[in-house]
Chains A and B, each alone.
Chain A
Amino acid sequence: GAVVSQHPSRVICKSGTSVKIECRSLDFQATTMFWYRQFPKQSLMLMATSNEGSKATYEQGVEKDKFLINHASLTLSTLTVTSAHPEDSSFYICSAQQGGVVTDTQYFGPGTRLTVL
Chain B
Amino acid sequence: AQSVTQLDSHVSVSEGTPVLLRCNYSSSYSPSLFWYVQHPNKGLQLLLKYTSAATLVKGINGFEAEFKKSETSFHLTKPSAHMSDAAEYFCVVSDRNTGFQKLVFGTGTRLLVSP
Chief secondary structure at chain B's binding surface: loop
Determine which of A42, A43, A45, A109 lies in contact with B43 in the assembled complex, contact meaning CB atoms within 8 Å.
A109
B32 close to A43 (CB less than 8 A): no
Choice from B36, B41, B99, B102 contacting A108 with Cβ under 8 Å: B36
A107 to B44 alpha-carbon distance, docked (Å):
8
A21 to chain B, nearest CB (A): 14
Docked-complex contact B103 and A43, CB < 8 angstroms = no
Instruction: Give the bracket for the number of chain B residues in contact with chain A.
Output: 20 to 34
Cα separation A110 to B101 with both chains bound (whole Å)? 20
* Contact, CB under 8 Å: A111 / B32: no
Question: CB-CB < 8 A to B99: which residues of A?
Answer: 102
- Least CB distance from A17 to B in Å reads 25
Interface size for A (C-beta < 8 A) is 21
Indicate if the CB atoms of B107 and A43 lie closer than 8 Å. yes
- The answer to whether A42 touches B107 (Cβ under 8 A) is yes
Contacts of B49 in A (CB 8 A): 105
Chain B CB within 8 A of A32 CB: yes
Q: What would 27 A/B residue contacts be, using CB atoms closer than 8 Å? A: A34-B103, A42-B107, A42-B108, A43-B90, A43-B105, A43-B107, A43-B108, A44-B44, A44-B103, A44-B105, A49-B102, A93-B43, A93-B44, A95-B44, A102-B99, A102-B100, A102-B101, A103-B32, A103-B100, A105-B34, A105-B49, A106-B103, A107-B46, A108-B36, A109-B43, A110-B42, A111-B43
